[in-house]
Structure 1
Amino acid sequence: MHLYSYVVARDYGFAPNPFGGVCTLATCKPEIRQRADVGDWVAGLTSAADRATLGFVYIMKVDEVLTYDAYWNDARFQLKKPSRRGSVKQLFGDNIYHQSPTGVWHQADSHHSLDGGGANPRNIANDTRSHGVLVGRRFAYWGSAAIDVPQEFLNFNGHSIRLNRGYRSKFPDEFIRAFVSWFESLDAQGFIAPPFMWQRQRSTWARPQT
């Protein structure tokens, strides 16, 4: 069992996507999506730009790892395909990639597309460095109501979940056991509060490069 921590630099409800009773990480962070396996844990931390004190945007246990094509075709996840004419949740759908028989990547009009809906080559190149989509049913997504990181995990015998960029995964077993035990003690489950960026004017939302 491994624990991966990283900073959710732009919390739009896109990466991760916590809707529909399932938390998915299908874009961004290709290194984590490449390495994480069933039974591992992923913790998304708040950015310094969004919150003065370090908090958790979400925590999830990985229940499945799907390929992009499997995710795209799976009947369970059709509601996670984006729609510009649907609800705000649908606007940030993360089920956006599939390949043609010749291996060409197709990107649905989405948060990672260019203005106007065209495919964004830079985001395609970054996202598809890993074909893995992480799926978690045991999760808590706090979003704009992020909870503080306990001091215990900021200095746990010299190990800290805190980081500035990239991701962290080299935690000792005792750190991971303590972390999972703490999380389970919260009895938190599912979508709890809207994404941080939804507090801003909708007109200021953009499709950021990642």
Structure 2
Amino acid sequence: MTTHEAPPTAVFAPPRESSERARMRCAHTVGAALFKTRAHGAEKWGWQGRTLSRRAGRRWLRVVARSVDKAPGATWDGNARADALLPRSVPRPRLYAVAEWTADGYVYRAELSEYLPRPALAAGGPVLGRELDLPSSWWADLREALSATATVPTTRTTIRQQWIDRHFTRLLGIPAPAIAWTTGHADMPLVNLTGPPLVICD
């Protein structure tokens, strides 16, 4: 991740309620204290305000929350699973420490990761706002990383055939293909890619 803050949108914005923003900021402060560091710099809010990230010393601190009565989803421990299972040849931020705690009806998870000073290819959000001129070596590195990722066995599912069937025709105007499934990133817009050199985030 980087310190570049996405503009407010429906999906990458702080929670609407001030109490929810305060709760997440408090949790982020708690996470920083657990790792004996201090957060600073711009806030980076994740999907629908469910995650909050900031630079913390020479690292990157991400905090995710869920209510205690909700089962953890694929985003809960995805970074830790990836760090443990993916080949080291896949360029990604290294995960240094994880902590979990419960407070006020929520379970929190803090992850202290490698800080990437280079901005994402679409640093302002999920939509590309400029023309990219990426060298062929960057594309080769991406193909190699995706091929290595595809070799990792997993039972995690984030995209299903039903989603493909429902959205391909509606969004793209073409018939939905039958997907031959393999292990992949599942959320790889240009906001999760840097380069060159290539680094794959989240």
| TM-score after normalising by structure 2 | 0.27
Larger radius of gyration: 2
